[in-house]
Amino acid sequence: MRAAQIIENRKPLRIGNVPDPTPGPHDVIIKIEASGVCRSDWHAWMGDWAWLGLAPELPIIPGHEMGGIVEVVGKEVKNFRPGDRVTTPFHEGCSHCLNCLSGHSNRCDNLQIFGFGYDGAYAEYVKVPNGDFNLVKLPDEVDFVTAAAIGCRYMTGYHGVSRANVKPGNWLVVHGAGGVGLSSIQVGNAVGAQVIAVDVDDAKLEMARKEGAVATINGRNENVIEAVKEITKGGAHASIEALGIQETILNSVLSLRKGGRHVQIGLTTHNESGIAGIPIDAVTAQELEIVGSLGNPKTEYDGLLSLIAQGKLNPRSLVSREIALDDVNEVLNDMTNYKTYGFNVITSFK
């Protein structure tokens, strides 16, 4: 099959033929119809996240946002058969730890991620471990490009808004209008929150308005904390940080009203290496809450897919470009320079 592999950090991916994956008894092979190019793939390519235990052993095929068709099933797989239209969370659960058994597969004690622990979906075929547990059937109304769009960034934004616990009419600030941020904005708007988008790129802020932001703040031109407090008349009820940058983490926490909730989605780069300062006295004095949010447990997929099938959520509107496998190096380089907008999705592998 054709695939793109990281051979060396920060060097062009090698694109060419590699052996097809073969299933174990509980695995499923998927023919990939669409695969998103995510900033997490960029982090793998850059060699970030070693402090999280996410330094891939090279060479590896990246890619963890996917939609496709079941090609082959292992002999012990019971719930899927060739021809099924499927997707899967980027985080694969073991199915038997306490977190998996309690419905929190995104917190699996043995969690593995495509493109980090094993080969991912920048390829014609991918192997999904524990297929009966990890695969999700797609409704007829959800196409493969949409499935790829929800594979990481969108479902992460969806779960993040859930973790923000916003009520209709509440103020929700989203720091970073990239893939996760735009997803959070669309979902926040759908649940009735008044969403403020913060970024340093006016083109991304314009996209944020189209996805439902009622106000935007350019962090290069305005004091973010003052601007949020002015717009909200005292501070946001909740704030999502989707970048993993020290400055925006501080802005997020300090723009909250008393009793507000900061949701940390963004993982840091090598600049922070996993450690960021928090204004802990403000957290104490204002009874602020700080919560983490990782991916989206499989138990929340039915609700997400139902809302998409009913047209209440539209992840496909965030897909700015469909590309060929041969274009992935260009997209990764554009990510380095923050020149990507919305989602780039591989739909041609030849």
Question: Could you give the C-alpha distances from 170 to 20, 167, 217, 218, 255, in angstroms and in order?
Answer: 49, 5, 18, 21, 14
Its domain, for residue 12, covers: 2-153+296-348
What residue has token string 């192997």? 127
Structural domains in the chain (count) = 2
DSSP 134-186: H-EEPPTT--HHHHHHIIIIIHHHHHHHHHHTPPTT-EEEEE--SHHHHHHHH
- Do 266 and 339 share a domain, yes or no? no
Distance separating alpha carbons of residues 123 and 30, to the nearest angstrom:
10
Q: Which of 270, 292, 314 is the last residue of a domain?
A: 292
pLDDT at residue 55 in the model: 86
Yes or no: say if 112 and 295 are a contact pair by the CB < 8 Å rule: no
Q: Tell me the sheet residues that pair with 240.
A: 174, 263
pLDDT at residue 52 in the model: 86
Tens-digit pLDDT profile for residues 139-166? 999 999 999 999 999 999 999 999 999 9
pLDDT at residue 269 in the model: 82
Q: Label residue 89 exposed, middle or buried (CB < 10 Å: 0-12, 13-18, 19+).
A: buried
Distance separating alpha carbons of residues 93 and 254, to the nearest angstrom:
35
Distance separating alpha carbons of residues 274 and 40, to the nearest angstrom:
15
List the structure tokens of 76: 């012990």
- Do 148 and 274 share a domain, yes or no? no
Yes or no: say if 80 and 135 are a contact pair by the CB < 8 Å rule: yes
Distance separating alpha carbons of residues 195 and 187, to the nearest angstrom:
10
- Do 200 and 92 share a domain, yes or no? no
pLDDT at residue 344 in the model: 96
Q: Which of 249, 264, 292 is the last residue of a domain?
A: 292
Task: Find all residues with CB under 8 Å of 312, minimum gap 6, and list them.
Answer: 190
- Do 125 and 240 share a domain, yes or no? no
Q: Which of 252, 277, 292 is the last residue of a domain?
A: 292
CATH number of the domain within which 67 lies: 3.90.180.10
Listed as ranges, residues in the chain with pLDDT below 50 are none
- Do 242 and 265 share a domain, yes or no? yes
pLDDT at residue 54 in the model: 86
pLDDT at residue 216 in the model: 98
CATH number of the domain within which 247 lies: 3.40.50.720
pLDDT at residue 138 in the model: 97
- Do 162 and 129 share a domain, yes or no? no
pLDDT at residue 307 in the model: 94
Instruction: Tell me which residue of 203, 197, 104 sits closest to 159, measured CA to CA.
Output: 104
- Do 218 and 132 share a domain, yes or no? no
pLDDT at residue 53 in the model: 84
- Do 71 and 119 share a domain, yes or no? yes
Residue type, 143: D
- Do 314 and 223 share a domain, yes or no? no
pLDDT at residue 331 in the model: 97
- Do 78 and 42 share a domain, yes or no? yes
CA 148 vs. chain centroid, Å, equals 10
- Which helix (H) or strand (E) element contains residue 307? helix 301-309
- Do 267 and 316 share a domain, yes or no? no
- Do 340 and 309 share a domain, yes or no? yes
Distance separating alpha carbons of residues 96 and 80, to the nearest angstrom:
19
List the structure tokens of 16: 């060419």
Instruction: Tell me which residue of 349, 322, 261, 301 sits closest to 133, measured CA to CA.
Output: 301
Yes or no: say if 325 and 348 are a contact pair by the CB < 8 Å rule: yes
